[in-house]
Structures are given as structure tokens and as C-alpha cells.
Amino acid sequence: MSLVDTRTPDPKKFIKGATGDWEMVIGLEIHAQVTSESKLFSGSSTEFGQPPNSNVSFVDAAMPGMLPTINEECVRQAVRTGLGLKAKINNRSIFDRKNYFYPDLPQGYQISQFKDPIVGEGVVKLDMGKDGEVEIGIERLHLEQDAGKSIHDLHPNMSLIDLNRSGVALMEIVSKPDIRSSEEARSFIAKIRTILRYLGTCDGNMEQGSLRADINVSVRAPGGEFGTRCEIKNVNSMRFAVAAIEYEARRQIDILEDGGTIDQETRLFDSKSGKTRSMRSKEEAHDYRYFPDPDLLPLEFDDEFVAELAKNLPELPDEKHDRFVNDYKITPYDASVLISSRINADFFENVAKGRDGKLAANWVINEFFGRLAKEDLSVANSPINAQQLGSIIDLISGGDISGKIAKDLFEIVWVEGGEPAKIVEERGMKQVSDTGAIEKIIEEIIAANPEQVAKVKEKPQLAGWFVGQVMKASQGKANPQAVNKILKEKLGL
């Protein structure tokens, strides 16, 4: 690929070195396991966590004479993902053999796509908060087979091989070298994961290895020529990605400032030490000897096939974000929090429908998500449903309870469950808007505190003390607006 610099150097992202400023240039290759029942070229299961070599057919084990037959659903998933990345779909693509020798690769080659991938160039938008929106180019997406798994720590002098993952479909999503900080890289991985999860084309589970990233890092003088890159393989968490990039950029800067040069090489990130180390030296560098797989004809489909998939695509995160801002009048920041997953976004919409969007966003994000995070729960196993939270908000909007009482009510519903309106009724939590009752309380307080009354005539801002007393006497149930109004009248302010 030809390298084009699409970004304007931003001094905020520069790294200070001994000889001056440096800028990182990062490109990512994300390997995303395709959500499918069976493998890319065989009929064995993709289910995770099965006994060793039980999800393996003779095709996956590369027994002589076995031939691959492509899984049509994996093709659809790749096209859907391409559409989600606003990318060019190639109606004709070719499978190649990528040759290398490793015990967990029984074929001796991985079936992949080299020159003619199924998906071409696209673009992903990142919301970088106060730094605004950043566009990261997508170079390509191709389909390929996953390898099996080697386990090195179960036996003193043997490695154990499990081919269950061998032949599972992967999408490799390659970014352009448009990323300029570890934070952007983290945000890019998160955004890709969100898009994949919305589309249902990959579960995005990094702990199980369904999503992993190879990270290309180089450094250069700000805005200068691209430097020599190193590739950090198989990073399986966003936190590790940030740590690996920060370490690697610093390592390269130190070498260059000492007058050295960077060797283009593959490196591994060790999460325990927080460092990267060389994985393969240049002499052993792989020569993959790609060539078209003679067992497979070109993968071809027509525009109608793509149009049908496009028609049935779900609403994507960016579209949902804009719709939330427009329809519910919430801030772009709140919208980006709410759309982070489809289930969260759906929950918000169920709460917000027919209600004040801002109030709903506030309650869903601060009280509800806050409480879920505190108890390490998710929307799926929340003790409160959208309907219950919605009726709490109705009670606030209707003037039945104050915001403060609403928090107590939320706590009760969270712990005990039940119908919010009924709880308010039964436990006498209703806000007192009856002016007669409030007047009576205020009169008593004024009568009992002549000194404060004298003071407040001098300093009207002391009225707050009276509000506090009234709220205390009413156990928080007095309607604050009514209290303010009557207090002003009675105190003659």
C-alpha cells in the first residue's frame, strides 16, 4: 500500500525527547473472529471451550485429499462488516495460501486473501472528546482461517496442540497508518468492537481471543518522513495496547536519539513487565510465499447480494449517536456514552421514549450505569428494568417526588424491587405540594427562630437556611419550588 499522511501534526500528542519532539505513527491490524456456527471451510463447530480436538474435521486437520468449501454465512458477515466500515465491497475476491510452518497449522499454510480482498477502503470516525472527531482510514478487510492453539505450560518438555480453533473464520481489518497516539489506538479498537457488536458479526470478546490486534508502531520528527516500524503481535486487551504502544515508542526514540537505527521486526508485548521484546530476528523473518489457492475458485457475488445485506443492516453506532442527539436533545458526550453498546442504547430508549430525554439520559448514565458499574453488573442482569426507571422519572416529572427522594426511591427499587408509584404511595414519599401544609411548617419555623428572621431581612441569601429547615421538618417531601415561593412571601423578601 502507498502511505499517505492524512493527519496534521498536533503538538499536544508529541513526545518529548532529549533532542526534540517526536510523533508516533500507528497502524492496526485487528483480527476479529466471525460469528458463525461452523468454520470458514468446513462443517465443524466454532463453539468455544470444547474438549481438545473435538471441533475438528478431517478438513481442519488437513488430512490428505480434503478440500475446502466456503461457508456462505462467513461471506455475508464479512460484507456486512465492510458495509459497517463504510468500505468498498469487492464483488470478486481471491483466496491465497500464506505458507509458514508451525505445529498448530496442520495445512502448512493459512488460507487468506492477499492481493484481492473481499473489502477495500473505508473509514471509521473516532470521537476523541475535547480533541474533536478524528477519521481513521481502513485499508482493507479480508477473510482468513484461524490457526489452532499451542499450549506450552502443561507439560515439561512437550507442547500440546488443540486444533479446535483451526479453520475458524477471521476477518482481518487493516487500518491506514492514520493513528497518532495510544489513546487514539485504544479508541479505534473500541470503535471497531462496537461496530462489530452492533452488526453481530463478531462477539468482540477480547478475553476469549475473539478480537486481537497487531500494532504497527513507528516514530518520526513531527510531520516528517515515516520511520521504520515494528509490529507488536497479538495484543488482546485495550489496556495492553496502550501500554505496548507507549513502551515501544519510547524504546524507538531512545535508540534513534542514541544515533541508532530501528530494525523492522516482529515484537511481543509482555504484560507482566510492560515491555516489548523481539520475537523473530530478521534472518528468520517469514517469507510467506503467497499464491492463489488452487482448491478455491474466486469468490464472486453480484450487487443485489450486497444490496440485500445493506437493506437489513441494523442502525450503526454513528447513526444512533446522531439520532439520539437530535431526537432526545441530549449532549453528544451523553449520546456517545449511551451508544457504547446496543443493549445499553436500547435500555436508554425504552426509558426515554415519551419522556424528557435529558432527564432520562441523566438518570440512565449517572444513577443507573453508575450503580451497575459499582456492583459489577450489566444491563442484562440489572435488578431494575427500563419500565421501573421510567416510572421513577415520571414521578419526578409529574412533581410527585423531588430529585432527592427519587434517589431514595431508586435505592428501594434496586434492592427490593416493586412498582415505583406504589412504593411512593405506600411509604408516604409523595412530595407535599399542598400549600396549606407547607405554610403551616414555615409559620412554625419562623415563630421558633426570631433571630434568624431578623438576620435574613439584612442578608436575603440566608433564606437557604429556612429552606433547609423546612425540608428537614417535612422529611424531604416538601416541594422545593412551593417552599421557596411561600418563604419569600412570609419573610417579605
Partner 1 sequence: MSVDADIVRRIGHLARIKLKEENLQGLAGELNTILGFVEQLDEVDVSGVEPMTSVIPSTLRVRKDEVTDGGYSDKITSNAPISEDGFFMVPKVVE
Binding residues (CB under 8 A) for partner 1: these are: 36-38, 42-45, 51-61, 69-75, 99-103, 108, 150-152, 155, 157-163, 268, 279-280, 286-287, 289, 292, 296-300
Question: 162 or 184, CB closer to partner 1?
Answer: 162
Judged by DSSP in three states, 427 sits in coil
CB 407 to partner 1: min, Å: 48
CB 44 to partner 1: min, Å: 3
Question: 294 or 492, CB closer to partner 1?
Answer: 294
CB 47 to partner 1: min, Å: 8
Question: 102 or 226, CB closer to partner 1?
Answer: 102
Backbone angles phi, psi at 356, to 5 degrees: -70, 115
Cα–Cα distance for residue pair 303/417, rounded to 1 Å: 52
Closest CA to 144 of 175, 174, 168: 168
Closest CA to 93 of 117, 115, 69: 117
Q: Which three cell numbers stand for residue 477?
A: 417531601
Question: 286 or 353, CB closer to partner 1?
Answer: 286
CB 291 to partner 1: min, Å: 12
In the Cβ-directed half-sphere of 156, how many Cα atoms lie within 13 Å? 0
DSSP letters, 185-197, are HHHHHHHHHHHHH
Question: 272 or 374, CB closer to partner 1?
Answer: 272
CB 231 to partner 1: min, Å: 14
Strands (E), 284-368: 291-292, 299-300
Question: 66 or 310, CB closer to partner 1?
Answer: 66
CB 81 to partner 1: min, Å: 16
Label the pairing between strands 122-127 and 291-292: unpaired
What does each C-alpha distance from 232 to 277, 279, 483 come to in angstroms?
Answer: 9, 9, 64
Cβ atoms of 309 and 80 within 8 Å: the answer is: yes
Residues in the chain: 493
Cα–Cα distance for residue pair 177/136, rounded to 1 Å: 8
Question: 112 or 479, CB closer to partner 1?
Answer: 112
Cβ atoms of 36 and 77 within 8 Å: the answer is: yes
CB 263 to partner 1: min, Å: 17
Question: 91 or 340, CB closer to partner 1?
Answer: 91
CB 62 to partner 1: min, Å: 11
Q: Which amino acid is at 126?
A: L
Q: Which three cell numbers stand for residue 390?
A: 421510567
